[in-house]
Each structure stands twice: as C-alpha cells, then as structure tokens.
Amino acid sequence: MSDQATRPVASAAKSLPKKAAFDFRKYRPFAFAPLLPDRTWPSKTLEKSPIWASVDLRDGNQALIDPMTIEQKMRFFETLVEVGFKEIEIGFPSAAQVEFDFARKLIEENHVPDDVTLQVLVQAREHLIARTFESLKGAKRAIVHVYNSTCRIQREKVYGKDKDEIKEIAITGAKLLVEYAAKYPETEWVFQYSPESFSQTETEYAVEVCDAVCDVWQPENGQEVILNLPATVEASTPNVFADQVEYFCRNLAKREHVTISLHTHNDRGCAVAAAELGVLAGADRIEGTLLGNGERTGNMDIMVMAMNLFSQGIDPELDFSNMSEIVQVVSECNNLPVHPRHPYIGELVFTAFSGSHQDAIKKCLDYNEKHIEETENVWDVAYLPIDPAHIGRSYQDVVRINSQSGKGGVAYILQRNYGFNLPRWMQIDFSGVVQKQAETAARELQNDEILQTFEDTYLQQGSFELLDYTVNNKGGKVYFNGQVQMNGDTINIDGTGNGPLSSFIDGLAQHTGKSIHVINYAEHAINPQHSDVNSDGNGIDDGTNTDNKTNANAAAYIQLNVDGEVYSGIGTCSSTVSAMLKGALSAFAQAVNTAAA
C-alpha cells in the first residue's frame, strides 16, 4: 500500500480559513428617530391613491448590469403610459449621451402625451443643470429633480462639510433651477428637491434645508414644488420612517404649498410598508419602480403598493389588468427574472399546494357561485386576497398537486378543469390515490396526469363493458335486462329492483354469486365546456341504448360494498341512467380485478 493511501487526511476545519466573527456589536441602533409622542398616523387608514411617479427609466435603469438601450427605454416608456402613469422619470440626461438622446427622442418625435409629465434627475452642479435643461427643450411640462446628500455620514466622511455648507449646496442648486428655467419659458417647469438620504438625516435638519430651498422657489407665489424624501438607505423600521415623515410635514414652513413625495428603498425588505405608512403620515406622492428593481435590494414596488390598495377596494388609478404583458416588458427590458413568489405576479402566488388551503379555496369558490346575491359579488375567498382574473390570471394554476395536497385540491382541479364535481366520499378515496402517485413521482403532478389517473382508476372498466340494456316498470317493480361483457365473455344480466340501479345490481349479484350493496351514489350534469371528457355515448334516458352521441352530459359516482370490501366507480354518458349503470360496473370491475390480483 502506498504512502499516499495511508497518509492521514487533514481535517476540513484545519484546511479552511477561519471565518470572521459574526459580531452584532459592530452595529448601533438607528439614531435619527424624531421625538413624536403625539404621532397621528397610526390611527389613520388609506382611503385614496397617492400621486404615482415611475422611476424605472432612471433609478431602475441605473441598477442594471446592462443599462437599457434607447429602444428598450422607449418600449418601457410606452408601457408606463399605458398603465396610467402621469409622471415618469426618464433618466439622468447629464450623466450619459444615451440618456440625453432618449429625452430628445421623446420630445422631438412627440411621444409624450399631453397629460404625461417628464421628470429628470440632476445633481446640484451648474454644468449638469445646464445640460439637463438643454435635454428638455421643447417639452410642454417637465419636472427637474435636483438633489444633494444631507445625512451625517456623507457630510462628515464624503464631503467634509458642516451643516451650513451642505445647506448652501441645496440653496445654490435651487437658484440655478430658477435661473435656467427662465431661459426656456415655453415649458411649464416643476421644481423638485431631494435631501438625499433623508432617512439617515436628522429630521429637523432636513426640514431646515427644505425650508431654505422653498425660500428660493417661493411655492406660495405659484411655483409648483415637490419635496421628495428618500429612504436612500432603508435603515429603520417603517414606523420610524413614518414618524420622520409626519415630523417633516408638521414642521415645514410652507407645507400647504408643496407636494410631499417619498422614495423608499428596500434594504430591510420594508419599502412598501414604509411608503404606505409614509402616506398615512402625510405624504402626497410616491416614487418607485414596477416590480421593485433598483439599487441594492431594490426600490419600492409600485405594482405591489397599487395592488394593495386595489385589494382594499381603493382605485389605484393605475391599470394592471393586463399584468402578464406588463411583467414581460419589465423582465425583458431589465433582463431580470421574476421570482415565482413575487407578490401578485409571481408564477406561484395564487397557487396552493397545501391540502387545507386547497380545500378552503374550493369551498369558498363553490359557496360564492351558489350565493351570488348573498355575497353581492364581493370577492371573499380564503387564501386569495384578490381575484386572479382581475390581473389576467386564470384559475388553472390556483390549485396544483404534490404530495402535500389533499382531497380539496384534487377535487378542485377535476371540477374546474374537467367538470367532475366529486362527492366528499369520492374526494377522500381519490386523494389517497393521488398522494401515493405524487410521493412516488417526488414532484408536482400536472393536471393531465391527474385526469389520466382519475380515468384509469374509476372510468376505465378494462374488459368490463355495458353493451346493451332495457329497463321496464311492471307492477311497481323495475326489471333490468341487458348484456355485459366480462373478460371477453358476453353475459346476460337480469335483475329486479325499485329502480334501474338496484335491478342492475341484483342481476350482477345473481350472476356472480357475490354480495353487492350500494353504499353511496351521486350524479350531476357536466358543464358543456367539459362534455367531451371520456364519453362513448352508451345509453339514453329511456334505457333503449340506441343513440351514439359523443358528448358526456352526465356523471354518476357509485360506491359499492362487494363481499365486505368497498370499491368506487364513475360512469359518464349522455344518459343519466347509462352513466349510473356504467359507474356501478366500474366499481364492480375493480372488485373483480382486485380479487383476481
């Protein structure tokens, strides 16, 4: 044996570098919460939609590995217009030629509807501001959004300036906007200012800076002004951000003359919550992106916030009824995938695998269909906050089946997709069959697999077939006479009972010598859209079996006790009588085949 084979192997712990300590003591609690013991926002509720401003083409675009081309930005812009956005930030024209060219294309080629306002971003520097106004020449109405950072960490470590010096940058930027706007009087100008990193700025200082900007712009004299409060880095819980917003709104000198806007980011995963609470705290306007694309962990997802309002019966004033196409445009232009659990639009967000969830969904939908007047057609379904149909989603994927699924989910799929409304005892019986199949496959089962298993288990009699029959009423009794094929032999069946089913069962028992009793029976009409499911047209209502229709208009569910064991079967046919007899024969065939095996 070689030295290589006998040499001891070094332990993994010794061969890998030691991990740095996961030391929470390196961090400090959030330190910029204003003192607001009489806060009012917790007692308020959202009652209307805020003003929406999409920043997909700027903030969203800056966050992409490969920024959008002009063609992609144009496609995205047109989608935003179709959704209903009236304020759209189109880019940072002073930062790159493609950004400047896109602004010019929109204006010179008349792509901007009269009721849509373009918005652009610019730092508080004169040469950048000059270039920005040049990019907007000829626009009917435009928002010029100027900003500079005001938070402590950037004042001290990035700019090396004190509070007064940082405020002066903001004042200078505000004056430059007034100066350059005067050079383009044909455009209706809206001025917007952001104290960048408002979320990490002392709130009273943010008010001081914005008051100084308003003193330059004089919104009380008619100049339209937006003050935008960015959570550039989400650093606190949403309630603290709401306190910051309410404090700001209370203490801003010219609050009644300006629009307060919010621009939340998602570093803590709470951007939507922070925006919603911020509106309760007094904000009028929300900036964000569709699906939340943005720097680091992303921007506030306007689609989610708008749909949250929609789910509460509030008009979001944005149209997401064609959600699948909107999502396709966003994902293709951004070259980013959509998470399958993304709120409202993910592939799986309306899907239930859990058996208890599936059962509740099925029962709610069934109840609502039967009690339309009582429910006043108001959406009220367990586990589904909105009707998927409102955003262009079908019910096909509401319930999907794996090993965690239960009887309600299986029954839902068979009912919604194929027209089989299984009675409870049949649901219990078949759910066990499906669960075993899913466990064996170790994956989700497709709808067509479930249907095939259903047919194989209950609808296929194999070598058993109802060939021909008649039923006659004489002297208060029903007499059955017919032919049944069993394992290649044609058997004459004669029986007597109080109805077609009991007389047929009597005939089977006499011929086979088995003890046969009906335990459960149910039937229903099959919806016309599902009427082509596994029907051979055997039999008609009067029992003469002379038609050869190809549509199954009825389904019958039979559960038999055969020699002490329980078996279930289903029959479908244009005739309710034939469906019933075929269901009984299917259950009996299972008994015979099981005994033979």
Report how far residue 2's alpha carbon sits from residue 10's, in angstroms, rounded to the nearest whole number: 17
Number of neighbouring beta carbons within 10 Å of residue 415: 20
**Coil vs helix vs strand at 84:** coil
Strand extents, DSSP E, 63-127 = 87-91, 117-123
Q: Answer whether CATH 3.20.20.70 is correct for domain 49-334.
A: yes
105 contacts 111 by C-beta, under 8 angstroms: yes
Report how far residue 13's alpha carbon sits from residue 3's, in angstroms, rounded to the nearest whole number: 23
pLDDT for 540 equals 30
Q: CATH code for 460-596? A: 3.30.160.270
Report how far residue 242's alpha carbon sits from residue 253's, in angstroms, rounded to the nearest whole number: 19
Report how far residue 525's alpha carbon sits from residue 537's, in angstroms, rounded to the nearest whole number: 14
Structure tokens at 357: 């969830």
Element containing residue 496 per DSSP (H, E): strand 489-497
- Tokens 């229709």, located at residue: 549
- Residue 59, annotated as binding a ligand: yes
Kindly tell me the sign of the dihedral angle through the C-alpha atoms of 313, 87, 112, 301. Answer: negative
- Write down the pTM of the prediction: 0.71
DSSP state of 572: E
- Residue 110, annotated as binding a ligand: no
pLDDT for 476 equals 82
Report how far residue 391's alpha carbon sits from residue 406's, in angstroms, rounded to the nearest whole number: 27
Low-confidence spans in the chain with pLDDT less than 50: 1-13, 399-406, 531-550
**Coil vs helix vs strand at 417:** helix
Kindly tell me the sign of the dihedral angle through the C-alpha atoms of 293, 298, 303, 306. Answer: negative
**Coil vs helix vs strand at 482:** strand
Report how far residue 12's alpha carbon sits from residue 16's, in angstroms, rounded to the nearest whole number: 6
Report how far residue 428's alpha carbon sits from residue 445's, in angstroms, rounded to the nearest whole number: 18
- Residue 517, annotated as binding a ligand: no
- Residue 319, annotated as binding a ligand: no
Element containing residue 214 per DSSP (H, E): helix 203-217
What's the gap between Cα 126 and its chain centre?
45
Q: pLDDT, tens digit, for every residue of 48-107?
A: 999 999 999 999 999 998 999 999 999 999 999 999 999 999 999 999 999 999 999 999
pLDDT for 44 equals 98
Structure tokens at 85: 């956005």
Average pLDDT, the chain: 86
User: In sequence order, which residues have a C-beta less than 8 Å from that of residue 49 and are 6 or more positions away?
Assistant: 306, 309, 314, 315, 316, 317, 318
DSSP state of 399: B
- Phi-psi bin for 64: left (phi > 0), alpha (psi -120 to 50), beta? beta
Report how far residue 123's alpha carbon sits from residue 129's, in angstroms, rounded to the nearest whole number: 7
Domain boundaries, the chain: 49-334, 355-448, 460-596
Report how far residue 154's alpha carbon sits from residue 320's, in angstroms, rounded to the nearest whole number: 39
Q: Using only C-alpha atoms, what is the Rg of the chain? A: 35
DSSP state of 16: S
